[in-house]
Structure 1
Amino acid sequence: MKRGRIFINGAVHQVHADQDGSVVLADGTKLAQDKVQWLPPIEPGTIFALGLNYADHARELAFKAPEQPLVFLKGPNALVGHNAFTPRPASADYMHYECELAVVIGKTAKNVKQEDAYDYIAGYTVANDYAIRDYLENYYRPNLRVKNRDACTPLGPWLVDAADIADPMDLRLSTSVNGKITQQGTTSDMVFSIPWLVEYLSAIMTLSPGDIILTGTPEGLVNVVAGDVIVTEIENVGRLVNTLIDDQDYLNRNI
């Protein structure tokens, strides 16, 4: 099943996807995807993000693939839903998307072994974890201004049940900018696999339902600017649409 969250008529609703792609409310009401305000498909717990977790992306940035996972944390303010707007700082020269498979934890996990890792996963969704390279001080540990800005990480539209994804380590990823494909890859090229990451992270701290692991992005990054429409898509998981706008337009929308 594909599940999501929307805001409509002054309230948050849990919804699921109909076979035709429309949004179905709990009472059976069906709505078109472009007629609702999308929220991230879950209320997030801790958000873990992986840096350089695809060898081709590491080479793209002139780095070797890491020998240990490069993990940093993100605040929930960074998340925004499908069809939303993300502000692009006027002072930035280079900002890029990152199409990522997001893994959502389904039950409390501590000291989980790789062979049991999938038992602790609720499902998967699509993330677009924007980065602003101008503000980067350390490629290995992105700072607050690079990865924790408001609405800098679109997520959704759907949470797809883990049981509906036969092999999350063999999914195609792609990104298009204004209709032109600019990034393609596959989750099979991750440096550290999903089970490996669940074992690693759960050995350090207890993972809780709603925690999210952003698993990194393949090569194929380009600079994007205000007005660009970016679509990040993962096979069998979903198609996530986001539009960049400048800072002032974003503020005006949220006053």
Structure 2
Amino acid sequence: MNWEAVKDRRPVAAMRHEITHWVTLNACAPRCDLVPAWFNEGQARLAEATIPGADWRLVRIRYEAASMASTGTLLPLNLLVGQLSFNSFVSWAGYYKYQQSARVTELLREDVGGETPIAVVYERLRRGQNIAQAYAGLTGRTWDAFTAGLPARMRALGEGPGIVALPVAPDGAGASYLVYGFPSEAPLTVTAVGPVIETWALNASPFGAVFDTLLPPLPRGTYALTVSDGTTSVKATVTKSTLGSALR
């Protein structure tokens, strides 16, 4: 980790991310070779959301994965198993592979259940079971059934297009919102009606989602947001309680 690059960020999520990698690989030793990259990276990504003030990270994980499922752009999970293959996804896919991995890991935790679901998975891997065998042994369900059901479970959070608003921005100021499930790279128009009325343009990512913040010059207040691609419009209300960063 490059401390100089991350030391001024708040919260410092990179530290939690890298420590989680260390914990995962040590907990599975001597069979670290059985840890899928998506599971290792998914655990680390989820850990970033446990830092106070980082709730917005978990919202992004869940809804951006829902967007991938809604738009049929989920990455093949078998291509996220080896670290080299995982690393080969770059650009937009280089970001969304982490969101998908984290959501898959979260759903795996849910199925295993109990107070320490990941610890018992680690124990199975350490004994030489692969992730499919560990899952089947702990849940009584097949791995094929788990993977086949992932798109529907991710979409269950909200069929796109949709919008979710948050009271904070990533830097802890302003307010933010996430739209998801729009067509790939769709041009979007955002209208904010509140203390002032403003309109601006965005483009959905290739995976149908985009995250944005309400920053200056928008003043504090409650805004009714409408986001449209010209065919479908989604609406949300968000309250901007602080002025926010001067950066946009």
Normalised by the length of structure 2, the TM-score is 0.26
Rg: which structure is higher? 2
Higher normalized strand content (fraction of residues): 1
Higher normalized helix content (fraction of residues): 2
Normalised by the length of structure 1, the TM-score is 0.25
Higher RCO structure, 1 or 2 (CA under 8 Å, sep 6+): 1
